[in-house]
A and B are shown apart, each in its own frame.
Chain A
Amino acid sequence: SQQGEEDPQALSIQEGENATMNCSYKTSINNLQWYRQNSGRGLVHLILIRSNEREKHSGRLRVTLDTSKKSSSLLITASRAADTASYFCATDRTDSSYKLIFGSGTRLLVRP
């Protein structure tokens, strides 16, 4: 598999529930970034977590990073129908020119 693989590939939840998406990667990183993409639209930056950080919060978003397991998770609490989108993790590898390598993404559907 490639750098930055998310699971699940698709997730369907009821409005108000929490959504958890996971991301795994293979090589050492400087940071890991999460993005949201509405269908056919651009990539909206959500949160950046550095390799020396374990957890970050932004509003209803909580991101964790476990560098020993090479994994990260994105938790969206109290989900809303407007959170329906694809969510991607992207890693900034230490051996690269600060480019991001994207995972396959998780398609989140929040049912009203």
Chain B
Amino acid sequence: EPEVTQTPSHQVTQMGQEVILRCVPISNHLYFYWYRQILGQKVEFLVSFYNNEISEKSEIFDDQFSVERPDGSNFTLKIRSTKLEDSAMYFCASGHAGNTIYFGEGSWLTVV
């Protein structure tokens, strides 16, 4: 069964450093997403991406965040200057409009 893959599974970074989280969505999907989940809290929407551009973003997704689809398979989330409160599990997801959205296993980010 096709799946969304994410790397790294864990990353520890110093506050102020840049972080890039990588995702390979399911190959024929057209919609891509990033979500995050702070430990013990609900899953929060960050951004959706369709047709090579952001289609919607949340208030969390400020100027420190950016997304890119550099080639036909990867989808990345960049955090420019990490803060302590960016520590969370980050999930990539993909799907077709109005259908099942599939999530990856997540990338644990710890900012110290």
B interface majority secondary structure: strand
Residues in B with CB closer than 8 Å to A40 are 89, 108
Nearest Cβ in chain B — how far from A34, in angstroms?
11
Contact partner of B91 (CB less than 8 A), chosen from A42, A97, A105, is A42
- Decide if B65 is an interface residue (CB 8 Å cutoff): no
Question: Is the CB of A100 closer than 8 A to any CB of chain B?
Answer: yes
In whole angstroms, what is the CA distance A101 to B95 when docked? Answer: 15
Q: Total A-B residue pairs with C-beta atoms closer than 8 Å? A: 61
> B112 interface residue, CB < 8 Å from A?
no
The complex places the Cα of A63 from the Cα of B42 at a distance, in Å, of 21
| Residues of chain A with a CB closer than 8 A to B43's CB | 43, 88, 90, 102
Q: Does A68 contact B (CB under 8 A)?
A: no
Cβ contact within 8 Å between A31 and B56: no
- Chain A residues with Cβ under 8 A from B89's Cβ? 40
State which of B50, B98, B101, B106 has its C-beta within 8 Å of the C-beta of A42: B106
Interface of A is mostly: strand
A residues in contact (CB < 8 Å) with B? 30-31, 33, 35, 40-45, 48, 88, 90, 92, 96-105
Enumerate 22 A-B pairs (CB-CB under 8 Å) in ascending A order. A31-B98, A31-B99, A35-B103, A40-B108, A42-B103, A42-B105, A42-B106, A43-B103, A44-B103, A45-B103, A92-B98, A97-B31, A97-B50, A97-B56, A98-B31, A98-B98, A99-B33, A99-B48, A100-B33, A101-B45, A102-B43, A104-B42
Given A42-B104, A45-B102, A97-B55, 8 new contacts (CB under 8 A): A31-B98, A42-B106, A43-B91, A44-B103, A90-B43, A97-B31, A97-B56, A105-B42
